Amino acid sequence: MMIDDKFFREVQDNCWDPSVRIKECTHNEVDVQVLSTIPVMFSYWAKPHDCLELSMLLNDHIAGIVARYPKRFAGLGTIPMQSPDLAVKELERCMKIGLRGVQIGSHVLDDWNLSSPALFPVYETAEKLGAAIFVHPWEMMGQERMPRYWLPWLVGMPAETALAICSMIFGGVFEKFPRLRVAFAHGGGSFPATIGRIEHGFHCRPDLVAIHNNVNPREYIGRFYVDSLVHDPKVLEYLVSLLGANRVALGSDYPFPLGEDVPGKLVRSMPYPDDVKERLLGGTALEWLGMKKENFA
C-alpha cells in the first residue's frame, strides 16, 4: 500500500479474501464481522461520477461476499459524499443489494464538515431507510504538521472523530434526524474525554458555539454509538459509564496494526456481568445495524 509515492504498509490477503477472514475470525472466536472498505477508498477528492463508479464496484463486491456468507458477514457501503444527489441514489441501491448502511468519512471536502446542510439529504435518506452510518476518520487535520512518529494516526484520528461528532451535534443533525443511527470509530476519538470542555464552551460562549443548535451537547450523549477500540481498560470503563453499554459496540480495526491483537480481548477482560459483556460483544452492534441475533443463527 502506497501513500502518494511512498511505501506505507504491505497488506495481506485477509484484506480481501473472505475465506481467510472466516478462518481468522473463527480462530479469534468472532462469529460475525461487519465489512466496510478502507477509508482511503472514499475518494471524495475525485470527480463525482468517477467516485460513484468506484463506490458501486466496492459495494457490489461487499454485497456479494455477504450474499455468499450471510451467517458470517454484514456489510456497509461507501457513497460519493461530494455529490449528495449521487450519494442518495447509491445509498438507496446499497440497501436494495443487502447492505445494512454506509461508512462515511469524518468530513467530506475541505469546507464540508458533517454539519454541512448539503449533506442533509443523505441523512434524511438514511433515516427513512433505516440505514446505519459508520463514521471513520480520514484525511486528518493538521497532517502536514505531523510528518513523524505516526502522529496522524495517533493524534489526528481521535481529533477528526471529535470534529465529526461536534459537527453533527452543533450543526443540528441529531436534532433534525432523531432516528438516525450513527456510530463513530475508535471510542468516539477524543470527544468523550473533552465533553466537559465542549459543554463549558457551549455555556460560556453560546454566541460562537450555539449558533445553529441551542441544545446542550451533553444532551446528545446516548443518541449515537461508538466502538470499543480504546486499548485501555480505564478508558473503556469511562466510556461505558458515560454512554452506557447499549451505545458501545465491539470494534476491532481488523486487520490493521492499530486493531486489537485478539478482537474482544479487552471487553472480555473487564469485570462486567455476562449480560453487559454480551451487549458490548454483539448486542449493541446488532441494534445499530437494525438486525437481530436470529439473523445469524
Percent of the chain past pLDDT 90, that is, above it, reads: 92
Full residue range of the structural domain in which residue 72 is found: 1-83
148 within a domain of the structure (yes/no): yes
Q: What is the mean pLDDT of residues 158-167?
A: 98
3 with 93, same domain? no
Q: Output the nine-digit C-alpha cell for 154.
A: 495517533
141 with 227, same domain? yes
Name the domain boundary from 21, 56, 83.
83
Cβ-based neighbour number of residue 160 at 10 Å: 27
20 with 107, same domain? no
217 within a domain of the structure (yes/no): yes
Name the domain boundary from 65, 83, 101.
83
**β-strands 6-7, 33-35 pairing:** unpaired
Is the per-residue pLDDT at 104 higher than 60?
yes
Residue 4: the pLDDT is 67
Is the per-residue pLDDT at 269 higher than 90?
yes
232 within a domain of the structure (yes/no): yes
Residue 54: the pLDDT is 98
Residue 110: the pLDDT is 87
Is the per-residue pLDDT at 230 higher than 70?
yes
Contact call for residues 234 and 188 (beta carbons, < 8 A): no
Is the per-residue pLDDT at 2 higher than 60?
no
75 with 126, same domain? no
Q: What is the mean pLDDT of residues 82-105?
A: 98
43 with 93, same domain? no
33 with 109, same domain? no
Question: Which DSSP symbol is given to 263?
Answer: T
CA–CA dist 12, 97 (Å, integer): 27
Q: Say which residue the cell 511505501 belongs to.
A: 7
* Number of domains within the chain: 2
37 within a domain of the structure (yes/no): yes
Is residue 104 left, alpha or beta, with left meaning phi > 0 and alpha meaning psi from -120 to 50?
Answer: beta
Sorting pLDDT into bands at 50, 70 and 90, what band is 7? low
62 with 92, same domain? no
Residue 48: the pLDDT is 98
Sorting pLDDT into bands at 50, 70 and 90, what band is 8? low
Q: What is the mean pLDDT of residues 18-23?
A: 94
Sorting pLDDT into bands at 50, 70 and 90, what band is 15? confident
Name the domain boundary from 37, 60, 83.
83
What's the pTM? 0.96
236 within a domain of the structure (yes/no): yes
CA–CA dist 126, 130 (Å, integer): 6
Residue 3: the pLDDT is 65
Residue 14: the pLDDT is 86
22 within a domain of the structure (yes/no): yes
Is the per-residue pLDDT at 56 higher than 70?
yes
56 with 161, same domain? no
Residue 174: the pLDDT is 98
Average pLDDT, the chain: 95
90 with 206, same domain? yes
Instruction: Give 103's strand partners.
Output: 134
Looking up residue 109, the CATH number of its domain turns out to be 3.20.20.140
297 within a domain of the structure (yes/no): no
Is the per-residue pLDDT at 212 higher than 70?
yes
> pLDDT tens-digit profile of 236-247?
999 999 999 999
Q: Tell me the residue type at 73.
A: F
146 with 69, same domain? no
Residue 297: the pLDDT is 80
281 with 135, same domain? yes
Q: What is the mean pLDDT of residues 185-204?
A: 98
111 with 256, same domain? yes
Residue 140: the pLDDT is 94
Is the per-residue pLDDT at 296 higher than 60?
yes
27 within a domain of the structure (yes/no): yes
